[in-house]
Structure 1
Amino acid sequence: MIETLFHAYTPLVIWTGLGLLLFRYIPVNFPKLLSLFLYWVGIPLQILVLARHSEFSGAVGFTPAIAIFVLFLSTSLAWLTWEFLQQLSTRHLAKPYFQGKNSLVNSLLLNFSSLTRSSKGSFILAAMLGNTGFVGLAITPSIISADNNNWAVLYSVTNNVFGTYIFGVFIASYFGYSGNKNHWWTQLRDVITVPALWAFLVGFFTRNISFPETVESGLQVAVWVVIASALLLVGIRLRSIKQLESFELALIPSLLKVVIVPVLIGLGASYFGLSGDPRLVLVLMSGIPTALSVLILAEVYELDRDLLACSIAITSVGLLLMLPLWLAWFS
């Protein structure tokens, strides 16, 4: 298992670490330009390639349905947790449960009452969206057999298309716009104009069209360049976190993201008779760190950026801690 973990951690540590090191030496506008490149070019390119090479038959064909179920489960848990904490915060202000000024729970409940609508959107996105395309597909080749790779690919495609660019855009648009702009046709417009959605359709409907060998090879290389660029941006964004207070709130959606949801999915898969690599893929993909794309959505829809950046940091560390347990329990 040590060798498996070494191969899984290597791309994460190298490219994210490089981003942390280069933070002081890069132009101020570089992270934003790289984010725009990934949004308009990198992510659509990756989805196009994955859609062209994915098989949608057999047992693996249920993967998209499972991925969508995980999205709804994560969203529901995050929403209910937010509502519970909001009620608890209101009661805490009237009659404090924890008197210690330095108590983490006391500080969280006091700060929770002052959070804005944009923070709620970021809270839900942090628990819902996982970095399956960049982190997930960088890890899975090291821990599963090639025969089961389609489980990871289909989950990643579904998560990116339906998760990030349909559910994610809808939630970001809903919580990010002011009341006079928050209409249903605004969310619909935002969903149908994202480039990744159209890239998926192009890739899906060109599966039977053969590209020249040089083009296919170039696309495969480009996908790995995109993954490395995204991990680099993760390191840069982690280094740029300024408000450490956001870590307190980010702990909750991070716990949902990398502990509670993947354990529930693993137990559920076991209950329905799934085992081995397919079960491990579902656990891994459901518990992958918060997606880098949430920062892009935060920029576009003016959500709470610090909360999302802190969630990415916490869940990235959480993945390193949880991966050995997932391998021991669900592989």
Structure 2
Amino acid sequence: MIETLFHAYTPLVIWTGLGLLLFRYIPVDFPKLLSRFLFWIGIPLQILVLARQSDFSGAVVFTPAIAIFVLFLSTSLAWLTWRLLRWLSAAHVKKPYFQGKNSRLNLFLSNINSLKRSSQGSFILAAMLANTGFVGLAITPAIISSNNNNWAVLYSVTNNVIGTYCFGVFIASYFGNSEQKKHWWTQIRDLLTVPALWAFLIGFFTKNIPLSETVESGLQIAVWVVIASALLLVGIRLRAIKTWQSFELALIPSLLKVVIVPVLIGLGASFFGLSGDPRLVLVLMSGTPTALSVLILAEIYDLDRDLLASSIALTSLGLLLMLPLWLASFS
């Protein structure tokens, strides 16, 4: 188990740590340029390669349905939790729960109702969208057999295409402060022009078209370069957080993301007779850190950037803490 954890943690620690170290020495515009590269080229390239090189026959029947169910479950829990926080905040204003004007809980509850609409959207996205493409697929080869890798690949593709670039775009445009949310045809246009969606379709329908060994090897290397670039961006974004107050609110969707939802999925999979690597893949993929794409959506739709960056930090740390427990309980 120690060796497995070492291989799983190595890419996360190396590339994220490099981003933390390089933060002071890189141009100001570099993170934004890297984000655009990943959105328009990196992520579509990764999805295209995965769609071409993976055999979905073993898990194709219900893996996408499970991924969509996890998205629905995470979104529902986040929305209900937000409504509960708003109710507690309103009741707290009338009669404080805790004594002492300097109580952190008092301040936290008092500030909930003053948060903007964009913070609610960020709260939901932080709990819903998972970094299955960069973090999930970087870890799974070290902890599962190659025969079950199709589970991880198809889950990741479904999460990225349906979750991030369909549900995620819709929620971001609905709760964001951008004027685009007033025009429903703009939302439809955004969904239909997502590059990752078209990359998946191209990759899937060109599976039977052979490419030279050199091209295939080059594409595989490019995928790992994209993963390293994304983890590098994680470190850069974490180092750029300017205020620590957002961590208090981000702690709640982070707990939903890396603790509650994965445990529910693991128990549910066990109840329906699933075990071994397939069950572990579902737990791991549902509990991966908050997706980097939320930062891209935050820039486009003017969401709460600090809340989302804090969620990425907390869920990344939470993954390191929870992974040994998942291996012990669900492998």
**Smaller-chain TM-score bracket:** over 0.9
Q: Report the counterpart of residue 200 of structure 2 in structure 1.
A: 200
- 1:179 CA displacement: 6.8
Q: Report the counterpart of residue 229 of structure 2 in structure 1.
A: 229
Closer, same or farther: CA 92–234 of 1 in aligned 2, 3 Å: same
Q: Deviations over 1:106-136 (max 9, x none)?
A: 2221111110011011000000001000000
Structure 1 moving runs of 4+ over 6 Å: none
Q: Which runs of 5+ in 1 are unaligned?
A: none
Instruction: State the Cα RMSD in Å.
Output: 1.2
Q: Deviations over 1:248-267 (max 9, x none)?
A: 10000000000000000000
When structure 1 is superposed on structure 2, of 106-115 and 249-258 the one drifting more is 106-115
- 1:213 CA displacement: 1.2
Closer, same or farther: CA 179–14 of 1 in aligned 2, 3 Å: closer
SS of the residue corresponding to residue 62 of structure 2 reads: helix
Q: Which whole-Å CA distance do the structure 1 matches of 2:137 and 2:228 have between them?
A: 11
Q: Which whole-Å CA distance do the structure 1 matches of 2:212 and 2:103 have between them?
A: 62
Closer, same or farther: CA 180–156 of 1 in aligned 2, 3 Å: closer
Closer, same or farther: CA 102–137 of 1 in aligned 2, 3 Å: farther
When structure 1 is superposed on structure 2, of 101-110 and 303-312 the one drifting more is 101-110
**Residues 1:13 and 2:18 aligned together:** no
Q: Report the counterpart of residue 313 of structure 1 in structure 2.
A: 313
- 1:94 CA displacement: 1.2
Q: Report the counterpart of residue 182 of structure 1 in structure 2.
A: 182
Q: Report the counterpart of residue 96 of structure 1 in structure 2.
A: 96
Matched letter for residue 76 of structure 1: S
Q: Confirm or deny: 8 A CA contact 1:258 1:319 kept in the other structure.
A: yes
Identity %: 83
Q: Report the counterpart of residue 161 of structure 1 in structure 2.
A: 161
Q: Which whole-Å CA distance do the structure 1 matches of 2:87 and 2:178 have between them?
A: 24
Q: Confirm or deny: 8 A CA contact 2:173 2:181 kept in the other structure.
A: no
Q: Confirm or deny: 8 A CA contact 1:55 1:61 kept in the other structure.
A: no
Alignment of 1:319-330 (within 5 A): 319-330=319-330
Q: Confirm or deny: 8 A CA contact 2:138 2:227 kept in the other structure.
A: yes
- 1:52 CA displacement: 1.1
**Residues 1:250 and 2:247 aligned together:** no
Q: Confirm or deny: 8 A CA contact 1:104 1:248 kept in the other structure.
A: no
TM value normalised by structure 2: 0.98
Q: Deviations over 1:295-315 (max 9, x none)?
A: 011011110000000000000
TM value normalised by structure 1: 0.98
Matched letter for residue 41 of structure 1: I
**Residues 1:217 and 2:217 aligned together:** yes
Q: Which whole-Å CA distance do the structure 1 matches of 2:238 and 2:321 have between them?
A: 18
Q: Report the counterpart of residue 80 of structure 1 in structure 2.
A: 80
Q: Which whole-Å CA distance do the structure 2 matches of 1:330 and 1:127 have between them?
A: 22
When structure 1 is superposed on structure 2, of 50-59 and 224-233 the one drifting more is 50-59
Closer, same or farther: CA 175–297 of 1 in aligned 2, 3 Å: same
When structure 1 is superposed on structure 2, of 226-235 and 186-195 the one drifting more is 186-195
- 1:105 CA displacement: 2.6
Q: Which whole-Å CA distance do the structure 1 matches of 2:224 and 2:143 have between them?
A: 18
- 1:101 CA displacement: 3.6
Matched letter for residue 241 of structure 2: I
- 1:180 CA displacement: 7.9
SS of the residue corresponding to residue 209 of structure 1 reads: coil
Matched letter for residue 50 of structure 1: L
Matched letter for residue 137 of structure 1: L
Q: Deviations over 1:52-81 (max 9, x none)?
A: 122232345311110000000000000111
Q: Confirm or deny: 8 A CA contact 1:67 1:159 kept in the other structure.
A: yes
Q: Deviations over 1:218-276 (max 9, x none)?
A: 11000000000000000000000012110010000000000000000000000000000
Matched letter for residue 57 of structure 1: S
Q: Which whole-Å CA distance do the structure 1 matches of 2:99 and 2:180 have between them?
A: 41
Q: Which whole-Å CA distance do the structure 1 matches of 2:102 and 2:208 have between them?
A: 62
Q: Confirm or deny: 8 A CA contact 1:78 1:256 kept in the other structure.
A: yes
SS of the residue corresponding to residue 57 of structure 1 reads: coil
